Structure 1
Amino acid sequence: MYIDLLAQPDFTSLTSSLTCGFIAGSIAPPELMRKIVTESTIKEIVVGYGTTENSPVTFLGFPRDDIVRKTETVGYIFPHTEAKVVDQVTGHIVPLHTTGELLIRGYCVMLGYWGDPEKTKEAITPENWYRTGDIASLDEFGYCRIVGRCKDMIIRGGENIYPAEIEHFLHTHPSVVEAQVVGVKDERMGEEICACLRIREDRPCSAEEIREFCKGKISHFKIPRYVVFVNEYPLTVSGKIQKFKLRELMEKRLTL
């Protein structure tokens, strides 16, 4: 929603009284946050993270907070709530600043999925930890950084690649309005990176320009093999991007 608002040429003049905002529901690229506070009248904005199963916000951050701004986190966990990051294979807690699956425990966690004890057992451990399905890291101050979804992780030739990292970088390109990255099947590497980009009408660019922009700035194996320009993304009724559908559309479009 913020991306589309900022893309309107008369956005600032129409919203001169809009000074505060709240952003959640999806990972917010740092470049987007910078644009909100520098290119609009919004000067106070809160970043929230959570899930419906957690009632629904468990971390809250303020980009004006120096720590949140510098570390690109979603803030600090709510009182009376616990968080830990564990290895997806062993289930053991990982060291600080190391990525793993984020688990939440506290008064906010749901009792279970209605009439579905099996799904409840998959989501909540015997110790009442809720598995968020999100890849994250925690620092020594308790601030949380969300990297992406477990199921969205791309495994290219044995390398684990988190789409959010590439998306954040692509948002810094002056022609890019919005970037979504998915893994598409590849016979040799298992998966390859496909960047699906919405481009500014007044700043056209080519796929090769995007790849050149990436060289020397991100790891070579994270540079998208495929760059596809799109006008829209498949969305849920609440406006969230359905990456599994986007992946299917890209594989069909690329005839993979």
Structure 2
Amino acid sequence: MIGYWENEEATKASIDATKWYHTGDMATMDEDGYCRIIGRFKELIIMGGRNIYPVEIEKYIYTHPKVEDVHVIGIPDDRLGEKVVACIRVKAGEKLTEEDIKEYCQGEISHYKIPKHIIFMEAEAFPMTVSGKVQKFKLQETISEQLK
């Protein structure tokens, strides 16, 4: 990639002086040289100096048999910098409580990664792009206001 079409600012922000393109994705590489995308730098939650990858929490919560969809975000916290929030859509006909999710996570993911708040939402409440991806930055704005 040479750059963004007629957008010098975006080009400078993503392509460095040595011509490396920075996608914003976080990845790991195994001993065989295979890469695995584990999240996005913009979505990284930093809580009390700990780096939390939302995708890790999402993957676990998705395994709950009553969860249809989940998106994990960080919202501002005066003491720790950010706190973890899970926005969940429950499968049709099912019921879940915040305590159900917290108990499900207990002992399975690190205690500091367990969401402090769990918000149950309908599908249409998730802000989406035209291509069908959740706009997490808009979700953060909405939830931050809601939890003030």
Q: TM-score normalised by the shorter chain: which range applies?
A: over 0.9
Q: Residue in 2 aligned with 1:222?
A: 113
Given candidates 133, 137, 148, the residue that maps to 1:240 is: 133
Cα distance in 1 for residues equivalent to 2:91 and 2:8: 47
Cα distance in 2 for residues equivalent to 1:129 and 1:224: 35
1:176-228 Cα shifts (integer Å, max 9, x gaps): 01110000111111111000000012221100010011100000000000000
Q: Which has the larger radius of gyration?
A: 1
Query: Which residue identity is paired with 1:179?
Result: V
Task: Pick 1 or 2: higher relative contact order, CA cutoff 8 A, min separation 6.
Answer: 2
Query: Which residue identity is paired with 2:141?
Result: E
Q: Residue in 2 aligned with 1:186?
A: 77
Deviation at 1:156, TM superposition (A): 0.7
1:156-185 Cα shifts (integer Å, max 9, x gaps): 111100000000000011110111000011
Q: Structure 1 residue 150 and structure 2 residue 79: aligned? A: no
Q: Residue in 2 aligned with 1:95?
A: none
| Residue pairs, 1:158-177, within 5 angstroms | 158-177=49-68
Deviation at 1:114, TM superposition (A): 2.1
Query: Which residue identity is paired with 1:198?
Result: R
Cα distance in 1 for residues equivalent to 2:112 and 2:29: 26
Runs (5+) with no aligned partner, structure 1 = 1-109
Query: Which residue identity is paired with 1:156?
Result: M
Give RMSD over aligned pairs: 1.1
Deviation at 1:126, TM superposition (A): 2.5
| Residue pairs, 1:1-256, within 5 angstroms | 110-232=1-123, 233-254=126-147, 256=148
Identity %: 50
Cα distance in 1 for residues equivalent to 2:91 and 2:15: 43
Runs (5+) with no aligned partner, structure 2 = none
TM-score by length of 1: 0.55
Structure 2 residue matching 1:178: 3-state secondary structure: strand
TM-score by length of 2: 0.94
Structure 2 residue matching 1:218: 3-state secondary structure: coil
Distance 1:116 1:201, change over 3 A: closer
Query: Which residue identity is paired with 2:30?
Result: D
The runs of at least 4 aligned residues of structure 1 exceeding 3 Å deviation read none
Cα distance in 2 for residues equivalent to 1:202 and 1:118: 48
Query: Which residue identity is paired with 2:36?
Result: R
